[in-house]
Amino acid sequence: MIRFDILTLFPEMFASVLGESILKRAVQAGLIEVRLFDFRDWAEGRHRQVDDVPYGGGDGMVLKPEPLFAAIRAVRAEGPESPVTLLTPQGRRLDQALVQELAARPRLILVCGRYAGVDERVRRHLVDEELSIGDYVLSGGELPALVVIEAVARLLPGVLGNQDSAAADSFPRRLEAPQYTRPLEFEGHAVPEVLVSGHHEAIRRWRKKESLRRTLERRPDLLEKYPPEGEEAALLEELAGEPGRG
Ligand code: 4FV
């Protein structure tokens, strides 16, 4: 079981995603627990202010240190020991290898930024690691936190039914081979014959070759990172020998 403690100004954003499909079942089965903390609850004063103008001028607002320090300390103190993770474009890029690392922990504490980000003293004195889901700027860390919850939960035993298995995820080494389902012909487009041949070895080989073809076309960096060995090398030779693939 993994417990996700989420610090956010918009806890209601999580309800719909956690209330459907795989994550809903994972919560009901007690395989994951998600606790939502609105860190405005730790803000002082009548207006419970959580953001303020940036020193040195500039546009946008910055999340104040006081509410976040108080909230993070309170949540962190409730055990078990866990790093504090800030979702930010400046963070370590999330990939499947990092997801596997996170899935080995008993607890994740995810801090969702808003506005132009958090006061640097939060990052320097309370945050242990920073994660980014990609090189683009969102309005908040809530969607990145949901991406982390979904990607991690899928790796937990019992979360995925037999209809889809994380083990089948060939990523990150290779891109998936093309998939087909009924009807056999759609708008004149037929399913590759090998897939309805019943010839399992031929099907396995076709899928491996098409996965390599797609990886070669779209993510050649993956072939650098995970060099082809054994049968893959032979299949790549075949691909190279195909007409139009000089
Ligand atoms: C983000 C990302 C992201 C930046 C300012 C929230 C926003 C605001 N987080 N991966 N990309 N965060 O854009 O993780 O605080």
DSSP calls for 6-49: EEES-GGGGHHHHTSHHHHHHHHTTSEEEEEEEGGGG--TTTT-
Ligand 1 contacts (CB < 6 A) are 87-89, 113-115, 117, 132-134, 136-138, 140-141, 144
> Looking at residue 215, what is its pLDDT?
96
53 Cα to the center of ligand 1, angstroms: 18
The model scores a pTM over 0.85: yes
Residue type (1 letter), 55: Y
The percent of residues in the chain predicted with pLDDT above 70, rounded, is 95
Closest ligand 1 atom number to CA of residue 118: 15
120 Cα to the center of ligand 1, angstroms: 15
Element (H, E) at 10: none
Closest ligand 1 atom number to CA of residue 135: 11
Please compute the mean of the pLDDT values over residues 186-199 and round it to a whole number: 97
pLDDT in tens, 161-184: 755 555 555 567 999 999 999 999
Q: For the chain, how many residues are written?
A: 246
pLDDT class for 222, splitting at 50, 70, 90?
very high
Cα–Cα distance measured from residue 166 to residue 22, given in angstroms and rounded to the nearest whole number: 12
